[in-house]
Structure 1
Amino acid sequence: MELKKGFAEFIGTFVLVLFGTGTAVVTGGEDVLTIAMAFGLSIIAMAYSIGTISGCHVNPAVTVGMWVNKRIDTKTAGIYIVSQVLGAIVATATLLFILNSAGLETSNLGQNSTATVGVLGAVIIEIILTFVFVTVIMGVTGKKGDGKFAGLAIGFALVLVHLLGIKLTGTSVNPARSLSPAIFAGGDALKDVWVFIAAPLIGGVLAAIFSKQVLDSEE
């Protein structure tokens, strides 16, 4: 059962990263709404397909938040995170293959950047965006949430945070989504990737605490 859940997280993260970052690359990063919708629709599609298997975390920040609130155990959280990172890496490798096959530029793989707002600005922005995103997830999937509409709420929440974040940091809110392009792109993307790992994890933990203590999502 754990293997099935891990494979579901692998596939879900693969789809999110391939379609999300792939859309960002082929549009040149300029069409904010299209990119935001690509990420959001990917989550909606996966939520209603793999959600019944693994819960469709497809994001280490979500998994850590769920672990903080004791919705999953340590072993399961570890399996999820490894699966998510591997899914993201395979997605970026696939995107790179597609770009090379089409003879397109491969310097942009959808990597995040601190160039626009600086390191501190990126940290603050990513904590806030992830806090909002994971708070929505915790609320709609909690005991007081409405499971029928959870996928839609989560997907549109991801669209929302991308609308603000794309022009600022490229929007991470997901360490796996950020690590993979950085590995392949190297350079500044790899140097600054810690920001897009640490900040979303902090935002996820804060959202878990807020949801439990203020929203009573666990009761």
Structure 2
Amino acid sequence: MKQYGAEFIGTFWLVLGGCGSAVLAAAFPALGIGLHGVSLAFGLTVLTMAYAIGHISGCHLNPAVSIGLWAGGRFPANKLLPYIVAQVAGGIVAGGVLYLIASGKADFTLNAFASNGYGEHSLGGYSMQAALITEVVMTMMFLFIIMGATDKRAPQGFAPIAIGLGLTLIHLISIPVTGTSVNPARSTGVAVYVGGWAVEQLWLFWLAPIVGAVLGALTYKAVASE
């Protein structure tokens, strides 16, 4: 239960910190956060939580990561469902806290609320196909980084930095395409409050990250096998 609690808190922090930076700060150009600030915010949430709870739960914070680590032989199947439930619950609670904060502004409108989307709901107007490819490839590389950085042969103590910076880079690349998911819990945590189109498009942000995570884990196993 301590592991599941850690995953709940960690995913709560990821959604509150990452999506919060987009909803509360990036929406105001005068604050100067923009694409770079949001990307860094997501990376920092993972980096800080990796040091805080990595020794408790492994700091997955992401159903796709848990599934990918299982596919890579690093995580037991019997913990998959509880981890995913804890992660999604943490994301949804964070979305609720973010909504309570954001709605305290007089002219608040829900709009996208940092939800991921494609087509007319993509920041850059990218198609469903482009979104699907982006999410698969970005999550694939994310799992490759995670598997490599946490390999027993890798330098010890630096994995959170590599993983956090890896997530930052992924956001710098893909925010214009999908708003960057690579994490079904992150997508679900805000989409449930937007409803409508955000929930209708949510399938892609479950399917693509999971497929990408499995591919990334299997690729790393093939490359790094001794």
TM-score bracket, shorter-length normalisation: over 0.9
- What residue number does 2:163 align with? 154
SS class of match (1:72): coil
Q: What's the offset of the Cα at 1:29?
A: 8.6
Q: What's the offset of the Cα at 1:79?
A: 1.3
What amino acid sits opposite 1:140 in the alignment? A
Please tell me whether the aligned partners of residues 92 and 109 of structure 1 are also in contact (alpha carbons under 8 angstroms).
Answer: no
Runs of 4+ in 1 over 3 A off after TM superposition: none
- What residue number does 2:122 align with? none
Q: Does 2:111 match 1:111?
A: no
Q: What's the offset of the Cα at 1:108?
A: 2.9
SS class of match (1:166): helix
- What residue number does 1:4 align with? 2
| Aligned pair partner of 1:144 in 136, 147, 153 | 153
Please tell me whether the aligned partners of residues 29 and 35 of structure 1 are also in contact (alpha carbons under 8 angstroms).
Answer: no
In 1, the alpha carbon distance for the partners of 2:79 and 2:71 equals 13
State the TM-score, normalized to the length of structure 1.
0.94
State the TM-score, normalized to the length of structure 2.
0.92
Identity of aligned residues (%): 43
- What residue number does 1:101 align with? 104
In 1, the alpha carbon distance for the partners of 2:118 and 2:28 equals 15
What amino acid sits opposite 1:4 in the alignment? K
- What residue number does 1:87 align with? 90
What amino acid sits opposite 2:195 in the alignment? G
Matches within 5 A, 1:47-66: 47-66=50-69
| Aligned pair partner of 1:163 in 147, 160, 172 | 172
| Aligned pair partner of 2:16 in 5, 15, 18 | 18
Q: What's the offset of the Cα at 1:133?
A: 1.0
In 1, the alpha carbon distance for the partners of 2:103 and 2:153 equals 47
In 2, the alpha carbon distance for the partners of 1:147 and 1:33 equals 28
Q: What's the offset of the Cα at 1:121?
A: 1.0
- What residue number does 1:28 align with? 27
Please tell me whether the aligned partners of residues 23 and 102 of structure 2 are also in contact (alpha carbons under 8 angstroms).
Answer: no
Q: What's the offset of the Cα at 1:146?
A: 2.3
Q: What's the offset of the Cα at 1:43?
A: 0.6
> Which structure 1 segments of 5+ residues have no match?
none
What amino acid sits opposite 1:52 in the alignment? H
Report which stretch shifted further, 3-12 or 26-35.
26-35
> Which structure 2 segments of 5+ residues have no match?
120-124
Q: Does 2:117 match 1:120?
A: no
Please tell me whether the aligned partners of residues 182 and 190 of structure 1 are also in contact (alpha carbons under 8 angstroms).
Answer: yes
Q: What's the offset of the Cα at 1:105?
A: 2.4
Please tell me whether the aligned partners of residues 18 and 92 of structure 1 are also in contact (alpha carbons under 8 angstroms).
Answer: yes
RMSD of the alignment, in Å? 1.3
SS class of match (2:22): helix
Q: What's the offset of the Cα at 1:215?
A: 2.2
- What residue number does 1:76 align with? 79
In 2, the alpha carbon distance for the partners of 1:135 and 1:169 equals 21
